[in-house]
């Protein structure tokens, strides 16, 4: 019994660390780096996004490559079948589209907290895809969570205008596209990826992102020079998000069920809001905070409903 409690404590601790890492690294430090880049880069928003993604995933790729080599996972690449290589390429393409749309939304929307709250559309769309494509069960409690999350997303993004073009804040459509792409990537992975280690999957994603960003850097003739402040934010953020955050999630899965870990991770929006307030000294508008809390409540209800469903199965 003592060992079980100890393992559960470790699992929740890793889940908390993963949430903190993703929230601070993936949202706060990345936005800080983008702000620094926008002050010195003369290539426009596209060039600024490309140079950010290049350095961000250069750091993430090097860290994940070193960790995979340390863990002895690189040898697995030589034993993959042709079909598995094809799946890795497909997942790599999806990762490029998903991450590009995510960081584009972060670039467009001034407050990372708002981006994070709107990002709760991802579990909603993933749940709906699971029901329609994977024939997963959908309980009434999950439907309540979906309703709350969608309502919260509407409250956050609604501008008060009646025109469709001005009804939602800029970047809302990009977040929706990102949620669809991220959900599609998760479904593809759930169906096809069974024998690949988490380290190889993450390394594959960072590799394709680095390659695509490198090609764009050369094609668009984007300068490689960055201010020290931007590089330091990128280094800290890439370490916390794409590297440490991912590892902490998988380590949490070793000690507690994925559904329990997801319950902790569903509070990400609140953590991001706190981090933004500490780092930038800003908060979302009052109605955006209310909407954000609704999305968090919706995702939390969905996650709890899924956990109850799995426990009773």
- Does 277 map to a domain? yes
| Rg of the chain (C-alpha set) | 19
- Does 1 map to a domain? no
**What predicted TM-score, i.e. pTM, was given to this entire model?**
0.90
pLDDT for 256:
73
Give the range among 196-205, 236-245, 279-288 with minimum mean pLDDT.
196-205
Assign 106 a pLDDT band (cuts: 50, 70, 90). very high
- Does 168 map to a domain? yes
Q: How many domains, in total, are found in the chain?
A: 1
pLDDT of 1 higher than 60: no
Q: Which residue has the higher pLDDT, 298 or 185?
A: 298
Q: Which residue has the higher pLDDT, 233 or 250?
A: 233
Segments forming the whole domain that contains residue 174: 8-312
- Does 3 map to a domain? no
- Does 264 map to a domain? yes
pLDDT of 99 higher than 90: yes
- Does 50 map to a domain? yes
65 contacts: CB under 8 Å, gap ≥ 6: 203
Q: Which residue has the higher pLDDT, 130 or 223?
A: 223
pLDDT for 2:
62
pLDDT of 53 higher than 70: yes
- Does 2 map to a domain? no
């Amino acid at each position: 019994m003592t060992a079980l409690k100890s393992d559960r404590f470790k699992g929740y601790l890793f889940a908390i660390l993963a949430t903190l890492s993703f929230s601070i690294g993936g949202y706060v430090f990345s936005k800080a780096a983008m702000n620094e880049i926008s002050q010195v880069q003369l290539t426009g928003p596209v060039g600024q996004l490309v140079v950010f993604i290049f350095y961000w995933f250069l750091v993430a790729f090097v860290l994940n490559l070193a960790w995979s080599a340390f863990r002895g996972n690189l040898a697995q690449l030589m034993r993959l079948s042709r079909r598995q290589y094809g799946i890795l390429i497909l997942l790599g393409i999806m990762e490029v589209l998903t991450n590009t749309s995510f960081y584009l939304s972060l670039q467009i929307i001034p407050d990372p907290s708002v981006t994070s709250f709107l990002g709760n559309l991802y579990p909603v769309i993933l749940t709906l895809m699971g029901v329609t494509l994977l024939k997963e069960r959908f309980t009434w409690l999950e439907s309540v969570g979906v309703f709350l999350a969608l309502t919260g997303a509407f409250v956050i993004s609604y501008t008060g205008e009646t025109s469709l073009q001005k009804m939602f804040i800029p970047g809302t459509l990009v977040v929706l596209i990102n949620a669809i792409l991220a959900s599609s990537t998760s479904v593809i992975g759930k169906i096809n990826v069974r024998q690949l280690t988490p380290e190889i999957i993450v390394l594959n994603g960072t590799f394709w992102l680095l390659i695509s960003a490198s090609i764009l850097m050369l094609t668009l003739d984007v300068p490689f020079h960055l201010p020290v402040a931007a590089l330091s934010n990128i280094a800290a953020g890439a370490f916390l998000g794409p590297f440490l955050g991912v590892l902490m999630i998988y380590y949490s899965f070793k000690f507690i069920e994925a559904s329990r870990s997801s319950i902790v991770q569903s509070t990400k929006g609140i953590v991001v809001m706190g981090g933004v307030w500490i780092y930038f000294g800003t908060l979302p508008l009052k109605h955006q905070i209310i909407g954000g809390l609704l999305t968090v409540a919706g995702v939390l209800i969905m996650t709890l409903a899924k956990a109850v469903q799995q426990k009773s199965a």
